[in-house]
């Protein structure tokens, strides 16, 4: 096992290499190691300069997030200790960066005299994405080095900065095209030979006098919509404001205090949970280690509707040639027009270059025959949500596609096993449930059928990462994980408006809780007819003794399908997507309550939130019991990335742990008493609550099994 921090002398330069895979995080002991070698270089008369570099695929990508919230070794040096030593260096130190220079790694580089990097390196302060802020001087030194405005944007957005931009900002002194280690050593030799003093960040931000009056207040107002409910972005702004007002030592002290506040915040714990949950979801227990599955060199998509077009874009955006098949020229033309409109919109917003758009368009071909898919490695079927249509398509795909090609269905709830049984290759059939708009939403529910092979699962899980999706492996049941939990959420929302609430009150309460949109707004956005068809399909098997709200069906049958018809639960002014209360609907709701013999009552926000969120938790527990989801954290990943559950609450299961399963279980029992069988508590929820455990304990024990 190589040492996590190594020292080599190359000519007159001491090279300190951090070798702490996979991302060279500054785990406990790493700062000590770097400091030990720095001192060695400072004391060695044969050493004129030093280089700090990362081994493997990246420079230091930050502090070790796994160590947050755990007791730390008081004897171990901190990143701040390391930076203090760097700042007092008697000899020039060059940070040589590649891969990802992030968070504490970039802060360490700011403590060096010089910063150089390879082309393609990404620089950033992603701390805000896990509810923190750069806590080792980043908020004080970055504004001093590159200016307040670019530093503020980096720190508050957490977005990465590409190498060329870093160079133009002055974040790095040089972009080195050749061998980074060799070029950095030469850079360090020249610095030592040509200069007797070396730059260090200390003077106030050069552009602070140019900032407009109220600049920071305006910035807080500007980010408020996208930072809704979040805590640390605003403390990031406070810290950068300190950098314009305070000397460096005082600014660092203030930064330290606000960092500790962020670290102690429930939001940071939830956001760190989400970070690791998304990575855990990519791991499939039992899959042979290193099994990559069939490489996907060419893809096919059947159906050029909203979903099919969006899915085809996912492949083209990832550089994978994709062939789109429809049944008629007209449908194909309509679908391709939508795709091209999406690209043109991205170009207009400056998110995509004309050149990239052309590249992606060239990767997308189209036609009218399934036979054109004979040499693709995967086909995603994205046609109408009717089983007999899907069966016919899979029978044909099974005939025309080459052996080993993966046949995937984008169904949002139908039985993948029934579809697989229509083919002679059930081991190659899988569900790939994309979320609309497919080219935007990150979630991909990967549905393993009873006969789906490990190779097929591995291929699709690898594909998910390649096309920038968060893949979650789920089992077959009605609605899989996300939609199955959504049924209870929507059911209770509808019951609440029969009992006394109105749609806007339900939506407002849930948006206040943190949901991106409320259930009625979402319903209008997705189209009331979508849910209507699912409910009609479920009608035959729906137990007749169970309460059912038909208001949604009534409104849909009135031709009010939501935004696309200008009216749904709400009404919409032409060209405006703002939901407006509609007296006609509210009168209809009151009438419905009367017809049901329900005396309408005031329904408070707390009840609304419990009645809609706790069914998610209860159903999630049942999903875990049945093995439909591998982990509670997988369920969190589904709801954060597919349904707008607030990331800063960590997902429904993490939220349940935060509330306390005893409290949740007690509420579920109370609603079971008052609302009936839908609220039957999950046995797992009852057990964990009774044992004083939580879902995180369950995941931890599963991971160690
Ligand atoms: N700490 C611990 N583990 C980490 C880690 C980190 N900072 N970053 C990644 N990993 C693990 C990850 O869990 C996964 O583990 C493996 O590395 C590969 O990650 C003081 C307070 C660097 C862009 O926030 O953004 O510095 O699943 O799958 O797609 O101010 O990882 O293999 O067991 O994501 O190539 C700031 C977070 C920390 C960077 C690489 N830094 N990481 O992406 O690989 S706070 C971050 C990332 C801080 C200072 C503050 C990405 C990546 P496993 P991966 P990737």
CB 570 within 8 A of CB 582: yes
Nearest CA to ligand 1 atom 35: 23
pLDDT at 650 over 60: yes
Report phi then psi at 25, rounded to 5: -65, 155
Mean pLDDT of the chain: 95
Ligand 1 atom, smallest distance to 276 CA: 13
pLDDT at 143 over 60: yes
Nearest CA to ligand 1 atom 55: 23
Structure tokens at 339: 């795709």
Q: Which residues are catalytic?
A: 107, 127
d(CA 262, CA 135): 10
The pocket around ligand 1, CB under 6 angstroms, is made up of 22-23, 25, 61-66, 79, 100, 102-104, 107, 126-127, 130, 132, 134-136, 138, 276, 279
pLDDT at 124 over 60: yes
Pocket test for ligand 1, best of 20, 24, 58, 62 (most atoms within 8 A of CB): 62
Q: Name the β-bridge partners of 97.
A: 117
299-474 has which CATH code? 3.40.50.720
Per DSSP, which regions of 11-48 are E strands? 13-18
pLDDT confidence of residue 426: 97
d(CA 378, CA 297): 9
From the CA of 61, how far away is ligand 1's center (Å)?
6
> How do 364-367 and 322-325 pair as beta strands?
parallel
From the CA of 139, how far away is ligand 1's center (Å)?
20
- In this prediction, residue 415 has a pLDDT band, given cuts at 50, 70 and 90, of very high
What CA dihedral angle connects 198, 34, 66 and 126, to 10 degrees?
A: 10
- Kindly indicate whether the domain formed by 5-263 is annotated with CATH number 3.40.50.1370: no
How many CB atoms neighbour CB 88 within 10 A? Answer: 10
Note the CATH architecture for domain 482-704: Orthogonal Bundle (1.10)
Q: For the residues 135-157, what does the mean pLDDT come to? A: 97
pLDDT confidence of residue 545: 85
Per DSSP, which regions of 399-496 are E strands? 406-409, 429-434, 443-448, 470-474
Q: For the residues 537-554, what does the mean pLDDT come to? A: 89
From the CA of 20, how far away is ligand 1's center (Å)?
12
Within the chain, all domains assigned CATH 1.10.1040.50 are found at: 482-704
The Cα-based distances of 338 to 283, 345, 526 in angstroms read 35, 10, 17
- In this prediction, residue 105 has a pLDDT band, given cuts at 50, 70 and 90, of very high
Which tens digit of pLDDT belongs to each residue from 41-73? Answer: 999 999 999 999 999 999 999 999 999 989 989
- In this prediction, residue 537 has a pLDDT band, given cuts at 50, 70 and 90, of confident
pLDDT at 1 over 60: no
pLDDT confidence of residue 2: 66
Of 110-119, 205-214, 545-554, where does mean pLDDT reach its minimum? 205-214
The Cα-based distances of 150 to 82, 108, 155, 407, 558 in angstroms read 25, 19, 9, 46, 52
For every residue of 344-364, which 3-state class applies, written as one string?
A: HHHHHCCCCCHHHHHHHHHHE
- In this prediction, residue 542 has a pLDDT band, given cuts at 50, 70 and 90, of confident
Nearest CA to ligand 1 atom 18: 22
| Angle of the 306-317 helix axis to the 329-348 helix axis, nearest 10 | 50
% residues pLDDT > 70 (the chain): 100
Q: Is the pTM of this model over 0.85?
A: yes
CB 258 within 8 A of CB 173: no
Within the chain, all domains assigned CATH 3.40.50.720 are found at: 299-474
Ligand 1 atom, smallest distance to 64 CA: 1
Which tens digit of pLDDT belongs to each residue from 385-414? Answer: 889 999 999 999 999 999 999 999 999 888
pLDDT confidence of residue 673: 96
Q: How many residues does the chain have?
A: 705
Ligand 1 atom, smallest distance to 275 CA: 13
d(CA 520, CA 563): 11
**In 3D, which of 499, 498, 520 has the Cα closest to residue 509?**
520
d(CA 544, CA 680): 17
Nearest CA to ligand 1 atom 13: 276
Edge-to-edge strand ranges of the sheet holding 122-124: 100-102, 122-124, 161-162
From the CA of 83, how far away is ligand 1's center (Å)?
21
Helix then strand then coil, % of the chain, to nearest 5: 55, 10, 35
% residues pLDDT > 90 (the chain): 89
- In this prediction, residue 117 has a pLDDT band, given cuts at 50, 70 and 90, of very high
Which tens digit of pLDDT belongs to each residue from 214-265? Answer: 999 999 999 999 999 999 999 999 999 999 999 999 999 999 999 999 999 9
pLDDT confidence of residue 45: 96
CB 135 within 8 A of CB 106: no
Which tens digit of pLDDT belongs to each residue from 331-385? Answer: 999 999 999 999 999 999 988 999 999 999 999 999 999 999 999 999 999 998 8
3-state secondary structure of 50: strand
- In this prediction, residue 420 has a pLDDT band, given cuts at 50, 70 and 90, of very high
DSSP codes of every residue in 493-542 = HHHHHHHT--HHHHHHHHHHHT-SS-HHHHHHHH-HHHHHHHHHHHHTTS
Which tens digit of pLDDT belongs to each residue from 171-202? Answer: 999 999 999 999 999 999 999 999 889 999 98
DSSP codes of every residue in 108-161 = HHHHSSEEEE-TT-EEE-GGGGGT---TTTHHHHHHHHH-HHHHHHHHHH---E
Q: For the residues 620-644, what does the mean pLDDT come to? A: 97
d(CA 590, CA 599): 10
Q: Name the β-bridge partners of 324.
A: 301, 366
pLDDT confidence of residue 498: 97
From the CA of 453, how far away is ligand 1's center (Å)?
30
From the CA of 70, how far away is ligand 1's center (Å)?
17
Higher pLDDT, 460 or 291: 460
pLDDT confidence of residue 526: 86
Instruction: Name the maximum alpha-carbon separation found in the chain.
Output: 93
d(CA 42, CA 86): 10
Pocket test for ligand 1, best of 24, 29, 61 (most atoms within 8 A of CB): 61
Pocket test for ligand 1, best of 4, 20, 58, 65 (most atoms within 8 A of CB): 65
Within the chain, all domains assigned CATH 3.90.226.10 are found at: 5-263
Which tens digit of pLDDT belongs to each residue from 611-631? Answer: 999 999 999 999 999 999 999
Ligand 1 atom, smallest distance to 135 CA: 30
């Amino acid at each position: 096992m190589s040492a996590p921090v190594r020292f080599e002398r190359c000519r007159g330069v001491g090279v300190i290499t951090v070798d702490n895979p996979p991302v060279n995080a500054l785990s406990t002991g790493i700062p000590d190691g770097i400091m030990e070698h720095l001192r060695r270089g400072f004391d060695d008369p044969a050493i004129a300069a030093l280089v700090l570099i990362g081994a493997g695929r990246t420079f230091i990508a930050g502090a070790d997030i796994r160590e947050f919230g755990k007791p730390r070794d008081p004897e171990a040096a901190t990143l701040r200790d390391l930076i203090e030593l760097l700042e007092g260096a008697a000899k020039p130190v060059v940070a040589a960066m590649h891969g990802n220079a992030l968070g504490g790694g970039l802060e360490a580089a700011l403590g060096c005299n010089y910063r150089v990097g390879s082309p393609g390196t990404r620089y950033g302060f992603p701390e805000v994405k896990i509810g923190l802020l750069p806590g080792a001087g980043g908020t004080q030194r970055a504004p001093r080095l590159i200016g307040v405005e670019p530093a503020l944007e980096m720190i508050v957005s957490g977005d990465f900065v590409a190498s060329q931009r870093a160079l133009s900002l002055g974040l790095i002194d040089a972009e080195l095209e050749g061998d980074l280690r060799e070029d950095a050593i030469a850079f360090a030799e020249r610095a030592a030979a040509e200069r007797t003093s070396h730059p260090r960040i200390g003077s106030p931000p050069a552009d602070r006098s140019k900032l407009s009056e109220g600049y920071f207040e305006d910035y807080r107002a500007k980010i408020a919509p996208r930072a809704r409910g979040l805590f640390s972005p605003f403390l990031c702004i406070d810290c950068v404001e300190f950098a314009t007002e305070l000397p460096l030592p005082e600014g660092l002290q203030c930064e330290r205090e606000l960092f500790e506040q962020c670290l102690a915040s429930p939001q940071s714990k939830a956001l760190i949970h989400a970070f690791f949950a998304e990575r855990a979801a990519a791991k499939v227990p039992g899959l042979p280690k290193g099994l990559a599955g069939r490489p996907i060199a060419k893809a096919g998509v059947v159906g050029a509707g909203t979903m099919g077009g969006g899915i085809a874009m996912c492949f083209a955006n990832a550089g994978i040639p994709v062939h789109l098949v429809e049944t008629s020229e007209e449908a194909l033309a309509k679908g391709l027009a939508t795709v091209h409109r999406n690209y043109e919109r991205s170009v207009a917003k400056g998110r995509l270059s004309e050149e990239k758009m052309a590249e992606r368009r060239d990767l997308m071909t189209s036609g009218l025959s399934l036979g054109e898919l004979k040499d693709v490695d995967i086909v995603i079927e994205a046609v109408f949500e009717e089983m007999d249509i899907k069966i016919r398509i899979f029978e044909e795909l099974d005939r025309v596609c080459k052996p080993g090609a993966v046949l995937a269905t984008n169904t949002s709830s139908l039985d993948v096993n029934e579809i697989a049984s229509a083919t002679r290759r059930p081991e190659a059939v899988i569900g790939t449930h994309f979320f609309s708009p497919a080219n935007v939403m990150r979630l991909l529910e990967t549905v393993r059928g009873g006969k789906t092979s490990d190779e097929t699962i591995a291929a699709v899980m690898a594909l998910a990462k390649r096309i920038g999706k968060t893949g979650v492996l789920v089992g077959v049941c009605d609605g899989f994980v996300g939609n199955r939990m959504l049924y209870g959420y929507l059911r209770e929302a509808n019951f609440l408006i029969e009992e006394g609430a109105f749609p806007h009150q339900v939506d407002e309460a849930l948006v206040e809780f943190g949901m991106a949109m409320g259930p009625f707004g979402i319903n209008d956005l997705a189209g009331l007819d979508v849910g209507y068809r699912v409910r009609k399909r479920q009608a035959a098997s729906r137990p007749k003794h169970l309460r059912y709200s038909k208001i949604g069906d009534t409104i849909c049958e009135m031709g009010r399908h939501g935004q696309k018809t200008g009216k749904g639960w709400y009404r919409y002014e032409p060209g405006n997507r703002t939901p407006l209360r509609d007296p006609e609907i509210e009168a209809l709701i009151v009438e419905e309550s009367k017809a049901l013999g329900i005396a309408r009552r005031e329904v408070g926000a707390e009840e609304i939130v419990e009645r809609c969120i706790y069914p998610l938790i209860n159903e999630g527990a049942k999903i875990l019991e049945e093995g439909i989801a591998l982990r509670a954290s997988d369920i969190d990943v589904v709801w954060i990335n597919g349904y707008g559950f607030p990331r800063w609450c960590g997902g429904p299961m993490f939220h349940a742990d935060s509330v306390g399963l005893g409290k949740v279980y007690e509420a579920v029992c109370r609603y079971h008493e008052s609302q009936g069988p839908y609220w039957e508590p999950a046995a797992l929820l009852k057990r964990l609550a009774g044992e004083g455990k939580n879902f995180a304990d369950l995941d931890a024990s599963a991971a160690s099994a």
